Amino acid sequence: MPDAVELIRVKRDGGRLTDADIAWLIGAYTNGTIADEQMSALLMAIFFRGLDSAELTAWTDAMISSGERLDLSGLRRPTVDKHSTGGVGDKVSLILAPLVASCGAAVPQLSGRGLGHTGGTLDKLESIPGWRAGLSNAEILQVLADTGCVICAAGDGLAPADRRMYALRDVTGTVESIPLIASSIMSKKIAEGTAALVLDVKVGSGAFMPDINSARRLARTMVELGNAAGVRTSALLTRMDTPLGRAVGNAVEVEESVATLRGEGPADLVAVTLALAEEMLTLAGISADPAAALADGGALAAYRAMIAAQGGDPEAELAVASHREIVTAEAAGWLRSLDARAVGVAAWRLGAGRARKEDPVSATAGVLCLAKPGDEVSAGQPILELRGDDPDRFARARQALTGAIEVGAEPPEPAPPVLERISGVELAG
């Protein structure tokens, strides 16, 4: 039997772990044979020494094998999913899943909750009365068969090693490791059973990866893992210097998502959503025009069906915050930048996000962007509207916005929302 301490030393000293070593390590940690402090030491060694391509493939496979896999083979539609690395105002999944479903695909969107300044898809949807995030595997398959799309939490049986390891990484300073990030994301997505996957890798101040080189490395690593596992995988690098759309929060993002499904969405949000939809449909082998599905009401109908199938009332009025404050422009000119991270932190401090996974979130708290970069503004013009139910939170939210709004004499250069595409074909070449 392998020895945990010896394998920690191997990786600490820059050696490589065999497939058998990795399978034993992940299995032993999942069943409690390896203690948290030993896995913490190994994760720190990986943080500094990395994993080569073969090690990373074996590590991801072992995490998948630690639990069950969803079997989507009985569905009549081709399956395709999307994963975002997280951003500010990123409500794309709420629009994208029903949009792609309305074009003929089945979209099994297993999503997460927000932590820190980035929002969580499940938190947003839970602002809809009656909507349920926790579904059994049988319920997931039924909703997919009935509506073509589902957005829900991953079950406890899906890649349980990742769940334990993620919690450990969070408290040991080992989150920011590309191999560990890639294996965490891809183990869950591969175990989900989808045949194709598009990755939305955010780049900028509000993203997990603030610079394009790091984002590109992460995207390429995940695309390689997906294709090696037999999942057709590609990635888009998308901009996250400015909040996506105009709403940042939970209920306010649901409202903006529904408006977008009605054909009334902000241009940047629509552009990113359509680019991802086109990529998903291509990987799924479906010839359809997602812009037409957005315009003709088909996507909105699929959204309403999905919400109702998960116990929600798509016609229900959403809760509204009891307190509002306005942040204005200090000078006249062109709004040159609106820092995404600062806006995300402000929404978090108002109650829209959480500092720890067990913290509650407010459905009503958030920030509305009343102007976006490229708009001409006057001195004193409202730029942001802060919303929340706890007036004591507003001072710290305002503090987070110090320096977040830049007004200048010239408009900013136009910034395309989609920066780059990375596919398995390019990697193979």
Which DSSP string corresponds to 111-126? E---BTTB--HHHHHT
Of the listed 169, 220, 232, 341, which one is catalytic? 169
Of the listed 123, 162, 200, 241, which one is catalytic? 162
Of the listed 40, 102, 127, 184, which one is catalytic? 184
> In angstroms, rounded to a whole number, what is the distance separating the alpha carbons of residues 266 and 192?
31
In sequence order, the 6+-apart residues with CB closer than 8 A to the CB of 152 are: 109, 110, 111, 122, 132, 133, 134, 135, 140, 143, 310
Q: Please indicate whether residue 169 is annotated as part of the active site.
A: yes
Q: Please indicate whether residue 184 is annotated as part of the active site.
A: yes
In the chain, count H helices and then E strands: 17, 13
| End-to-end Cα spacing for the chain | 40
Tokens standing for residue 374: 């490229």
Sign of CA dihedral 338, 340, 341, 347: positive
Asked if 152 and 134 count as a contact pair (C-beta separation under 8 A), the reply is yes
Of the listed 11, 117, 188, 349, which one is catalytic? 188
Of the listed 83, 117, 202, 354, which one is catalytic? 83
In sequence order, the 6+-apart residues with CB closer than 8 A to the CB of 290 are: 99, 100, 103, 273, 274, 277, 278, 281, 299
Distances (CA, A) of 388 to 347, 349, 395: 9, 10, 12
Q: ∠372-87-111 over CA atoms, to 5°? A: 135
Q: Determine how many CB atoms are found less than 10 A away from the CB of residue 183.
A: 31
Q: Please indicate whether residue 378 is annotated as part of the active site.
A: no
> In angstroms, rounded to a whole number, what is the distance separating the alpha carbons of residues 344 and 33?
40
- For 183, half-sphere exposure in the C-beta direction (CA atoms, 13 angstrom radius) is 33
Element at 425 (helix H, strand E): helix 424-428
Helix (H, G, I), strand (E, B) or coil at 415: coil
- Interstrand relation of 382-388 and 323-328 (parallel, antiparallel or unpaired): antiparallel
The conformation of residue 109, written as its DSSP 8-state character, comes to E
Active site residues: 83, 162, 169, 184, 188
